[in-house]
Amino acid sequence: MTAGTLYRRSLREHWPSYLAGVVALFSCSISEVLIPRFVQWSLDTIGHPDAQIPLWFARATPLLALKALIHGLLLALVIGLIGRVGWRQLLARQTHIAGRELKVRFWQVLRLLPLRTFHAYPLGDLMNRATGDWNASRAIHGFTVVATLDMIFFTVLSVVSMLSIDPGLTLYCLLIFPFLPYWILKLARKEHDLHIVAQEKLGDLSGAVAQALSTIRLQRATNTDELWQARLRTEARDYAEKRFAVVKTGWRIFPLGALPTLIAYGVLLVFGVRKIGLGTLSVGQFVALLSYVLMLQGPLFDLGDIIAEWQRGFASLSRMVEIFNLQRLADLFSAKSLVPDLARHGATIEVHGLDFRFDPGERLILDDINLTIKSGERIGIAGPIGAGKTTLLSLLAGLLDGPEHRILLAGADIQPVARDWLAQHVAMVPQRAFLFAGTLRFNLQLEGEFSDERLWEVLDTVQLAADVRGFEGGLDTWVGEWGINLSGGQKQRLALARALLRVRSILLLDDCLSAVDAVTEEAILRRLDRPLRGITVVWVAHRLSTLRLCDRVFRIEAGVLTPALRPTFALEAPGHD
């Protein structure tokens, strides 16, 4: 599939809306082009009682003719208003429809791809495609189409109207116009090429930022944050230079758009005024020609932007299609993927001789990990920062691509396990959970539907109900992206509540109470025992006291996992009956 194929398919699917939108846009352009003619006819009627005006406006006296012209102008404006509303609802709206279709398809493909795909398409690159490329791609389905057709309709109708006034003078005014598109197109192509380079550089910058954020704790532990800052500054400077080159190329189009207008004004002031003196051109006609020349300046300036938008749009759509074409890989992976037999094996986890490093030649993050977890058992893992706790959980969740035949979920190797099975049966609560810009209710429910009673129940379990009741909007309180208006402990408890709403066979907790004070943690632990019954739990924590509900506790340090001796208070947790 190519960008052109996908674009034509979209046009065919939505052709009724496009056709009706084009008609509405054409009526709007006619209305705009008629305004200078109504001004011309009104001036000529006032100054010359015998002036030639359209027959349907001719009346017995100039005053009655002027009234008829005013009524005609108002009718044209109403038609233009209706047309403007029409193309916005029918044609421009396709931008939003296409945006939704593109984004839904983008995520549908990504969610089923094997993890190794993301080595070729890192997070920064994918985010760039899902934002910048997506925005440029959706524009050519709606707003860019509107701008292009409006420029064509308006230019053609204006030139025809000018020719009907004075063909010779019009040709002199527009003499340079046909030569302009070549130079503008040449600059637009250069801008397109520079845009591609800038987008690729933006992908590199986004990837570096994502990597820096994901390793920020390790940077602090190893005192390498200054090196990362230097790298980010270099990447940002390179992107700024590439982007500024795009902007400078676009600026060069503006003088080309202004030059024809200046020449046309010169022609009118020299030859038009002379014709008025000779009586071969009326004042109204001269004013109408001046208006059209001024109005044509807009399409000239827009020409470069429109060409650049098409170039950028199809370049970005090609980058989106590159991901869509991975659907075959996703289908192949799904066809070969395994579905573990929970009924036979239960929610068991087995880890055999697991070694893991992020890149060949780097130090081992995990060193010969061996662990067997029975279905419904709770396992705790404690250890210092950078010991490999989060890496182990990410491998168990299928969020990292590890070695084959080392991790078994319900008796099946995790590598070929179907991604949708993992999503349905494995939940992970990260230490720094992502919260969407939306209400508390939305962040809890996401794609699900839960009653308010159930929502308050889980909020009470994680000791967040009192906080939410204290908010002015309650469950409908707005939460900024990343939960910027919540405390660290509130964000963690909200993420834990979100996981408890969806019963999963395996629950992975990554130090999800690290920002909660000891008193609140104690209250949460007392209430968590019942919701966790029957669920296989792997709980990672920096504090050993957090793991009091676990059946067995291990310690991991420098990637080595060993059994841990728990303090006495940890054995006083309520039992499972």
**pLDDT by residue (tens digit) across 543-574?**
788 888 888 999 898 888 888 765 444 434 44
Q: Which residues contact 226 (CB under 8 A, 6 or more apart)?
A: none
What is the per-residue pLDDT for 47? 65
What is the per-residue pLDDT for 568? 43
What is the per-residue pLDDT for 50? 64
- Contact present, 373 and 426 (Cβ < 8 Å): no
What is the per-residue pLDDT for 324? 84
Judge if pTM exceeds 0.75: no
Residue in the structure block whose two tokens are 């944050």: 225
What is the per-residue pLDDT for 480? 72
User: Is residue 209 classed exposed, middle or buried when 0-12, 13-18 and 19+ CB atoms within 10 A define those classes?
Assistant: middle
Which amino acid, residue 560? V
User: Is residue 290 classed exposed, middle or buried when 0-12, 13-18 and 19+ CB atoms within 10 A define those classes?
Assistant: middle
Q: Which CATH architecture has domain 3-330?
A: Up-down Bundle (1.20)
The most distant pair of C-alpha atoms in the chain lies apart, rounded to whole Å, by 111
Distance of alpha carbon 341 from alpha carbon 130, whole angstroms: 35
- Contact present, 256 and 304 (Cβ < 8 Å): yes
Tokens encoding 377? 């058992």
Domain boundaries, the chain: 3-330, 342-572
**DSSP letter string, 386-410:** TSSHHHHHHHHTTSS---TTSEEET
Mean pLDDT by runs of 10 across the 577 residues of the chain is 88 91 91 87 75 73 82 88 89 88 84 70 77 87 90 88 87 75 72 77 76 70 76 85 81 69 80 83 84 78 77 86 78 64 83 85 85 91 86 87 85 80 85 80 80 88 87 82 76 88 88 84 87 90 84 89 63 39
Instruction: State how far the alpha carbon of 227 is from the alpha carbons of 146, 212, 222, 362, 501, in Å.
Output: 48, 10, 11, 18, 42
Nearest to 506 by CA among 406, 383, 402, 412: 412
Tokens encoding 541? 């924590």
C-alpha dihedral (191, 94, 81, 57), degrees to nearest 10: 80
Distance of alpha carbon 530 from alpha carbon 397, whole angstroms: 23
| Range list of H helices, 268-337 | 273-278, 283-324, 327-336
Which amino acid, residue 453? E
Tokens encoding 290? 């001046």
Q: What is the CA radius of gyration of the chain?
A: 34
Distance of alpha carbon 346 from alpha carbon 337, whole angstroms: 19
Q: What is the CATH T-level fold of the domain 342-572, as seen in this structure? A: Rossmann fold (3.40.50)
- Contact present, 444 and 497 (Cβ < 8 Å): yes
**DSSP letter string, 243-274:** HHHHHHHHHTHHHHHHHHHHHHHHHIIIIIHH
Locate the DSSP E strands across 398-551: 407-409, 412-413, 426-429, 438-439, 478-479, 506-510, 536-541
**DSSP letter string, 466-478:** HHHHHSTTGGG-E
